[in-house]
Structure 1
């Protein structure tokens, strides 16, 4: 198992070849009792949590603008234990971000709901990769991005113009794969649509939209990985480098 990619720098990515290994992740296999015990504590604190299926990496590398990796389906309860002590586990996490760019070049992010693990955090609508996001064993990052945005905000980005390539930012807490998605409407109108959708949901995952209009416009609760993404967007004038 290996993780070989530069950290804390935004990387251009032209191809993503992350494969789903049908075997168990060693971290889940070797920590069954600890996972069960921790999950009891997690749901006692947040009863709305659901022990669904996500994926954890066992390898990831970058070279020549290609990202190559291996991951395994695990229970969400496994992920919750792993995130408490990531170092030396032989596991890492990757997730997608559709960077929603409005017609006025503002960014539209979301704030997570109070009942979620990330309560109050601000980032682009996103979620962990799940087995449904894989095609012939290979992750379809755009499918994941579009699915998560639709589920959380009600927006359908299927027909939206996309940046010509992906980018990745790998830190000690995980690797985010992101891509610009352009919507013609101004940010205020996009935010209105999201708010209207949230109002119709019986149990919305998000609190609501957050508009970011310039690189210094950093909202309270901003997830740490978001600051370099925001700076990258406004430094590059809406065009992918």
Structure 2
């Protein structure tokens, strides 16, 4: 697997929904079902809904275009857990890179009932049927919706940048969109933690703040490599303070 992280800033992203069979998933259905049975035995809250996986993508000028197919979550998670054996598809998702007024980034710690317990991410989610609008996959809407659902922050009070950073790392493509909040990182964390405490089973266990390299190093073991690389790039472009 390619461990290099590549960045490209673009003015826009756009994706079609193009239903198609997934030959790999069909060929390995029995193994996938056994894997899913083991996962749900350990975590009965997992749900085998429908998600979207990128079947093609390319840069065209100052934009990134592509198309998704639909599959079941059990197929997607097996593909991930088996090491992404089918290279014809990519795991492409949008992330809201939340940054406070004082420059600190806020990232969530995934809860124990999720498929990635303890992992640290910006608000994000695998695209699904809710994101399909008139044959188009609305990744911008997905990022904002996930941010609101996970943190309780009102999107109307946030400054969402128009441009995107496409971050490629092996089979993953993170579509990063900068989101600014007019509050300090400590204030935002307190507000989000209060929202999480009011939920019966929140997706996040808590929030961490990243101001500098020391903060990245302290949490890097729980972050995917592309995310640590993105944070270092952003802090180099615009340091805190």
Tell whether 2:131 aligns with 1:130. Answer: no
Contact preservation (8 Å) 2:24, 2:86: no
Q: Give distance in 2, aligned partners of 1:187 and 1:138.
A: 34
CA distance in 1, matches of 2:137, 2:156: 17
Most deviating of 106-115 and 84-93: 84-93
Distance 1:17 1:71, change over 3 A: same
| Contact 1:25–1:58 (8 Å) recurs in 2 | no
What is residue 231 of structure 1 aligned with on the other side? 232
- Residue in 2 aligned with 1:37? 34
**TM-score (ref. length: structure 2):** 0.90
**The one of 164, 180, 183 aligned to 2:181:** 183
Q: Larger deviation: 93-102 or 211-220?
A: 211-220
Bigger CA drift: 210-219 or 50-59?
A: 210-219
In structure 2, the CA distance between the partners of 1:88 and 1:25, relative to structure 1 (3 Å rule), is: closer
Q: Report the equivalent of 1:4.
A: none
Task: Tell me if the contact between 1:109 and 1:123 (Cα under 8 Å) persists in the aligned partners.
Answer: yes
What CA distance in whole angstroms lies between the structure 1 residues aligned with 2:74 and 2:45?
Answer: 13
Which consecutive unaligned segments of at least 5 residues does structure 2 have?
A: none
User: SS of 1:150's equivalent?
Assistant: helix
> Which range is displaced more, 209-218 or 30-39?
30-39
8 Å contact 1:11–1:65 — kept in the other structure? no
8 Å CA contact retained: 1:25, 1:56: no
Unaligned runs of 5+ in 1: 1-6
Q: In the alignment, does 2:49 pair up with 1:64? A: no
